[in-house]
Amino acid sequence: MLRLPGAGPRTPGHLISAADLSRDEAVLILDTAEEMARVADRPIKKLPTLRGRTVVNLFFEDSTRTRISFEAAAKRLSADVINFSAKGSSVSKGESLKDTALTLEAMGADAVVIRHGASGAPYRLATSGWIDGVVVNAGDGTHEHPTQALLDAFTLRRRLVGADAGIGRDLDGRRVTIVGDVLHSRVARSNVLLLHTLGAHVTVVAPPTLVPIGVERWPCEVSYDLDRVLPESDAVMMLRVQRERMNAAFFPTEREYSRRYGLNGERMGRMPGKSIVMHPGPMNRGMEITAEVADSDRCTAVEQVANGVSIRMAVLYLLLGGNEPAVTHSRLNAEENK
Amino acid sequence: MSKILIRGARVLGGEAQDVLIDGETIAQVGTGLPADGATTVIEAEGRILLPGLVDLHTHLREPGREDSETVLTGTKAAAVGGFTAVHAMANTFPVADTAGVVEQVWRLGKESGYCDVQPVGAVTVGLEGKHLAELGAMHDSAAAVRVFSDDGKCVDDAVIMRRALEYVKAFDGVIAQHAQEPRLTEGAQMNEGIVSAELGLGGWPAVAEESIIARDVLLAAHVGSRVHICHLSTAGSVELVRWAKSKGWNVTAEVTPHHLLLTDELVRSYNPVYKVNPPLRTEADVRALREALADGTIDCVATDHAPHPHEDKDCEWAAAAMGMVGLETALSVVQETMVETGLLDWAGVADRMSFRPARIGRLDGHGRPVSAGEPANLTLVDPAYRGAVDPAGFASRSRNTPYEGRELPGRVTHTFLRGRATVVDGNLA
Amino acid sequence: MDTSDTSETGRIGETGRTEGAGEAARPVLEAPDIARALTRIAHEIVERAKGADDVVLLGIPTRGVFLARRLAGKLAEITGRSIPVGSLDITMYRDDLRLRPARALARTDIPGDGVDGRLVVLVDDVLFSGRTIRAALDALGDIGRPRAVQLAVLVDRGHRELPIRADYVGKNLPTSLRETVKVQLAEEDGRDTVLLGLKQPAASGER
């Protein structure tokens, strides 16, 4: 026996990894988000559901987009929102995560939405016993970003299946291609896991330097050839590629990268008729995506932002709305009809 | 002078015999030795008597990091683990790169009295890898340093490594290399492979270790020196050492207990207690390391005992310090992984944990046979004991063990340092 | 997981209405009774709303929605005009959210012209504590400002915990708190009936 027992990654009652979600839980989140999306069309875009609950946005990394998305979601559910920006050079040692957590606990945080530069920090927060509240991973290092994957899945379902027709359904058989810096991308990791869980067929495309060693165990295919994969893609998700990677010799030049792996109008033209182009943002126009593609009707980048609020409302509601969470929880089906 | 009679112990796991200790030496080994005249009689039926264990790789942290360990607490932990000699690594503050620092450590060891402390000298000044430290002065000091290592850092410059290997030939020294190609391990957090790909932690590839080992065994052969490879952790490293030995080159290697037992699957918990350098590897690596230790390709077990204060582990993975304490659990882990699997008998354990490490370190008075006239450095083990590891009971100042709560076999009941009991009935004397 | 099951959410203070009807459950209304009750309610709505020109029917999921649609059909027969009908999910407005696990949401579907200035008739299957209707009024308030709100229910079983009453009642059914009332409708359950049963003792440990 080589392993210690009990070292699994499951974290009931929190949302840490897309891998923790079963197919039914993921569909429940998408269905709930669909109802949340309709609230945005009402004159009063607010629900009383989380009144009296405190949600802390604990951001150790700058990410205005993700933070305001969570903030809007929590506020639409009437939760009190505290934004805690812990970014800064003073926060380099780990004690600060623990001490910050203890502070939030003392303040009575019901949920902590955490963005952290270190992979595993949300898992650590959820399992360390430092806090009692619900932990939602808003992106950790190069590990995962599960709510991004959920909003991507939501966008895919709306576009490829239909907003109403999609209720209760997954992404069975849809072909999704994820292109770019898979190695450093938490978005890619979460999407591969979640989209696979939802029945989609996922292919990641990147230069070999930007595909992690060990990818062979991921539930997806790997290709180095974008042009071969494009005609068979119902959706192409372009990942942001940081120019700094060039300096670490992951690829020779920006120009070469975008020639081989960037999406331009000509390449988009070879995608199937109703297929879509996705981007988690912020986009590097001219790098992984041309302006022509980014501004086309097929690009869902803006829609993804709107969907992000609905998904995060759904996640917060399902984790915080009851006396116990309804997702990442094995007792989901029990006692529901009372 | 006190006389101690150990009655009915299985010497090196063989037939039950009596061993009489008179003063600092073993007076008699045989059956039916009379108890009269002995000041203490230890009924040791069912227990294993081993030569005192020797650790080639211990971090005692003093001077500089007395918050995690001191020479005194570290040697106490060593005694509890059955060790009678430890090699204190050089990465202290200040670095043990001068005769002054190694003599200080050596003197602190003398004062502790629980375990002999043989200081290891740094290869390069400040472990910076740029200029050779005064290796000769450290050898000529009271500490009589014979093992040199920049452990914690790799001597990655090929020329510096070559010069060091050549230079220590003058006094039969050995360079103990921490094999880690620095560029390949920038930002490394764990073994690079299936688990790191999932967890999104920076990869520490096996090739970063193996490429340095390959270079260094070739260098050692070229200049006719001996080289010792610290904490081998991969199957590929085993192959390289096996190949070098088959050439007749003067290469020795060690493996840590944790690399014999634990795999990178544990990192899924993101619990920094499993963060160590070199990192925990795969099951296939663990298997290869066990086999290599059994067939002698790997010469010895070395603990890489690396104490860290609680706050350096009670944090997120990336911010945590690397290393595990190991002195107090080493023999139990070896029993579990090597003896109970049938890979090694107790004579083999004596060889890998006492005879060979003492020989590599050119340590006098340790790693000697259990026979009349030899120094009475002895360890008595109860192999039938089973118990959960409880860090609260550690003699070490630090608690960063990966085995907390885990049941491990075997317990050191007595340790004798030159005839004086440092551990009695499992407790410090 | 059958998602239709989880969307069949329980209601405030009405434990045992859809579940827990023991073997002793007996029908108190059959399909023709239900049809007759709905017809009568439709006529009452037309009468009270003076032609039902501005009526919007909002059913409370799940079974209230089916009842609202049936009522809309009957109103269309009577008035010759199509009556706007929708659904109003009250889950997010419940006052007992924290007593149980978070539950799946049902659809809120407001007819195109909205509810502002209209006469909204809320439709539900059973009126019990009144807490569901309290939540529905809150939900409605966030959607618009109706001219007036009325309530139609198939069964009123009594035991109100709030000052709420129904404007249209299919059947008043005096019950004890130990009894359960279960409405079954063809659209959801395959048949139309109302069952009266006895609560199973300590079925779930909740409450």
CA distance B282 to A217: 14
C-alpha closest to that of B20 among B61, B46, B49: B49
Residues of A in contact with B269 (CB under 8 A): 7-9, 127
**Residue B230 within any structural domain of the chain:** yes
* Number of compact structural domains in chain A: 2
B400 and B294 part of one domain: no
Global pTM reads 0.89
**Residue A326 within any structural domain of the chain:** no
A134 and A191 part of one domain: no
**Residue A189 within any structural domain of the chain:** yes
**Residue A29 within any structural domain of the chain:** yes
Q: Which of B304, B312, B351, B382 is catalytic?
A: B304
B278 and B419 part of one domain: no
| CATH code, domain with B163 | 3.20.20.140
Is C101 within 8 Å of A336 when comparing Cβ atoms? yes
pLDDT, tens only, C61-72: 999 999 999 999
**Residue B316 within any structural domain of the chain:** yes
Per-residue pLDDT, averaged over B126-155, amounts to 97
Contact B9, B47 (CB under 8 A): yes
Contact with chain A for residue B279, Cβ under 8 A: no
- The mean pLDDT value of chain C amounts to 86
Per-residue pLDDT, averaged over A211-224, amounts to 96
C-alpha closest to that of B416 among B59, B23, B106: B23
A113 and A172 part of one domain: no
pLDDT recorded at residue C19: 46
| Interface with A, mutate which of B270, B336, B340 (most A CBs under 10 A) | B270
pLDDT, tens only, B356-387: 999 999 999 999 999 999 999 999 999 999 99
Is B197 within 8 Å of A142 when comparing Cβ atoms? no
Write down which chains contact chain A via at least 3 CB pairs under 8 A: B, C
State yes or no: pLDDT of A10 exceeds 90: no
Residue B264 annotated in active site: no
What's the length of chain C?
Answer: 207
A139 and A209 part of one domain: no
B218 and B287 part of one domain: yes
Contact A282, A102 (CB under 8 A): no
State yes or no: pLDDT of C85 exceeds 80: yes
A150 and A295 part of one domain: yes
Per-residue pLDDT, averaged over B282-286, amounts to 98
A264 and A278 part of one domain: yes
B56 and B43 part of one domain: no
| Interface with A, mutate which of C105, C142, C145 (most A CBs under 10 A) | C105
B307 and B399 part of one domain: no
Task: Strand C148-156: give its sheet, edge to edge.
Answer: C85-87, C55-59, C119-127, C148-156, C168-172
What confidence category does residue B131 fall into, taking pLDDT thresholds of 50, 70 and 90?
very high
- The mean pLDDT value of chain B amounts to 97
Is C6 within 8 Å of A32 when comparing Cβ atoms? no
Residue B114's domain comprises: 52-360
**Residue A334 within any structural domain of the chain:** no
B157 and B32 part of one domain: no
> Nearest by CB to A332, which of C1, C107, C138?
C1
Q: Which residue has the higher pLDDT, A193 or A89?
A: A193
State yes or no: pLDDT of B54 exceeds 60: yes
Q: Which CATH class is domain C35-97+106-196?
A: alpha beta
> Nearest by CB to A119, which of B199, B286, B311?
B199
Per-residue pLDDT, averaged over A16-27, amounts to 94
Residues of A in contact with C102 (CB under 8 A): 317-322, 324-326
Contact with chain C for residue A332, Cβ under 8 A: yes
Q: Which residue of B has its CA nearest to A213?
A: B193
B16 and B78 part of one domain: no
State yes or no: pLDDT of A119 exceeds 50: yes
**Residue B309 within any structural domain of the chain:** yes
What confidence category does residue C202 fall into, taking pLDDT thresholds of 50, 70 and 90?
low
Q: Which residue of A has its CA nearest to B196?
A: A214
Separation in Å, CA of C43 to nearest CA in chain A: 32
pLDDT, tens only, C132-160: 999 999 999 999 999 999 999 999 999 99
A133 and A151 part of one domain: no
Identify each DSSP E strand in B216-370 by its residue range: 227-229, 251-255, 300-301
A26 and A108 part of one domain: yes
Residue A115's domain comprises: 18-145+306-320
Contact B416, B89 (CB under 8 A): no
DSSP letter for B200, please: T
**Residue A56 within any structural domain of the chain:** yes
DSSP for A183-197, please give it.
TT-HHHHHHHHHHHH
Would the annotation count B231 as a binding residue? yes
ipTM (interface predicted TM) = 0.88
pLDDT recorded at residue B363: 96
Question: Which segments of A are annotated as binding site for L-aspartate?
Answer: 93, 186, 240
Q: In Å, how far are A278, A308, A316, C141 from A33, measured between CA atoms?
A: 19, 9, 10, 22
Contact with chain C for residue A315, Cβ under 8 A: no
* End-of-domain residue from the set B302, B332, B360: B360
B143 and B201 part of one domain: yes
Query: What contacts A248, CB < 8 A, 6 or more positions away?
Result: none
Would the annotation count B222 as a binding residue? no
Contact with chain A for residue B187, Cβ under 8 A: no
Is B266 within 8 Å of A7 when comparing Cβ atoms? yes
Pairing label, strands B407-417, B420-424: antiparallel
- Judged on CB neighbours under 10 Å (0-12, 13-18, 19+), B16 is middle
**Residue B214 within any structural domain of the chain:** yes
pLDDT, tens only, A61-102: 888 999 999 999 999 999 999 998 876 544 555 557 888 888
Write down which chains contact chain C via at least 3 CB pairs under 8 A: A
Helix (H, G, I), strand (E, B) or coil at A257: helix
Is B193 within 8 Å of A213 when comparing Cβ atoms? yes
State yes or no: pLDDT of B351 exceeds 90: yes
CA distance A57 to A49: 19
A141 and A151 part of one domain: no
A156 and A278 part of one domain: yes
Separation in Å, CA of A228 to nearest CA in chain C: 38
Structure tokens given for A208:
């070999």
Contact with chain C for residue A41, Cβ under 8 A: no
Q: Which residue of C has its CA nearest to A327?
A: C102
Identify each DSSP E strand in C93-191 by its residue range: 119-127, 148-156, 168-172, 179-184
Chains A and C: how many Cβ contacts under 8 Å?
102
State yes or no: pLDDT of A337 exceeds 70: no
Share of chain B above pLDDT 70, in %: 100
Dihedral sign for Cα B92, B95, B99, B101, please.
negative
A126 and A199 part of one domain: no
Is B203 within 8 Å of A212 when comparing Cβ atoms? yes
Separation in Å, CA of C36 to nearest CA in chain A: 29
* Number of compact structural domains in chain B: 2
Q: In Å, how far are A221, A223, A253 from A212, measured between CA atoms?
A: 13, 13, 20
CA distance B56 to B354: 10
* End-of-domain residue from the set B360, B390, B414: B360
CA distance C139 to B49: 80
Contact: chain A with chain B (3+ CB pairs below 8 Å)? yes
Contact with chain B for residue A1, Cβ under 8 A: no
Would the annotation count B108 as a binding residue? no
Which residues are paired to B429 by β-bridges? none
Contact with chain A for residue B320, Cβ under 8 A: yes
What confidence category does residue C207 fall into, taking pLDDT thresholds of 50, 70 and 90?
very low
Contact B307, B397 (CB under 8 A): yes
A24 and A132 part of one domain: yes
Domain ranges (residues) in chain C: 35-97+106-196
Determine which helix (DSSP H) or strand (DSSP E) holds C55, and give its type and residue range. strand C55-59
**Residue A329 within any structural domain of the chain:** no
DSSP letter for A296, please: S
CA distance B211 to A187: 33
B327 and B253 part of one domain: yes
A205 and A127 part of one domain: no
CA distance B398 to B62: 13
Dihedral sign for Cα A131, A135, A138, A144, please.
positive
C-alpha closest to that of A222 among A254, A267, A265, A188: A188
Would the annotation count B310 as a binding residue? no
**In degrees to the nearest 10, what's the CA dihedral of A219, A222, A227, A228?**
-80
C-alpha closest to that of B389 among B372, B368, B410: B410
Dihedral sign for Cα A138, A139, A143, A147, please.
positive
Contact with chain B for residue A4, Cβ under 8 A: yes
* End-of-domain residue from the set B308, B336, B360: B360
pLDDT recorded at residue C104: 87
Q: Which residue of A has its CA nearest to C108?
A: A35
B201 and B243 part of one domain: yes
Share of chain B above pLDDT 90, in %: 97
B147 and B202 part of one domain: yes
Is A214 within 8 Å of B193 when comparing Cβ atoms? yes
B44 and B56 part of one domain: no
| CATH code, domain with A188 | 3.40.50.1370
